[in-house]
Structure 1
Amino acid sequence: MGWTSILAIYFLFWVMTAFVMLPFGVRTADEEGIEKVPGQAESAPVNFRPRKIAIGATLIAAVLTSAFVLNFEYGWVSVDMLDILPKPPESAAR
């Protein structure tokens, strides 16, 4: 696998992880007991920390990318192993 493919897979894992991490640990103004700014949405976060999300996504994406590349190289899990549906009988296939 080329380094550009690994970089693309890392980027995909990073974006996916960052979006999954976004709602964790976020609190609204009502939950914090802080007065809202006029026009502020009810669900607007008070304590949004993009640096914390970026660092967490970087670490998790590195682990997931490493596992993906190692599985690609060594073939620990293949598509055939994930096939959970029963195969049709030979007579039905004709």
Structure 2
Amino acid sequence: MGITTYIAIYFIVWWTVIFTILPFGVRSQHEDGVVEDGTEPGAPQRPLLLRKALVTTVVAAVFVGLFAWSVETGRLTLDMFPLPIKLY
């Protein structure tokens, strides 16, 4: 596979991971007891987006790295996946 394929896979994995970890560790303004005027009480108090983006970047890089290693060494091939239909 080419570098473009791995970049596309990284992009998909990155977005999947970020949406998976976004809800973890988030406390609403209502839960903290400090609701600012004009805001929704359920709005996050401190979403820690930078930390979550960094964690997502590392997790996605490790996953895609392992996937690339598996493909390049021949441990993972398309022949290992069954086709949903018969092609004959």
The normalised TM-score by structure 2 is: 0.77
TM-score, with structure 1 as normaliser: 0.73
Gap runs ≥5 in structure 2: 83-88
Aligned equivalents of 1:3 and 1:21: distance in 2?
Answer: 27
Cα RMSD (Å) of the superposition?
A: 1.9
* 1:6-49: CA deviation from partner (whole Å, max 9, x where unpaired): 111111111111111110110001211212423x3342101112
Identity between Structure 1 and Structure 2 (%)? 34
Equivalent residues, number: 80
Which structure has the larger Rg? 1
1:36-75 → structure 2 map (5 Å cutoff): 36-38=36-38, 40-75=39-74
Bigger relative CO (Cα 8 Å, ≥ 6 apart): 1
For each residue in 1:38-88, what CA deviation from the matched residue of structure 2 results, as whole angstroms up to 9, or x when unmatched? 3x33421011122111101100000110121122223435325xxxxxxxx
- Unaligned 5+ segments in structure 1 are 81-94
Structure 1 distance, partners of 2:13, 2:37, is 35
Cα distance between partner residues in 1 of 2:37 and 2:54: 29
Q: Does 1:79 align with 2:78?
A: no
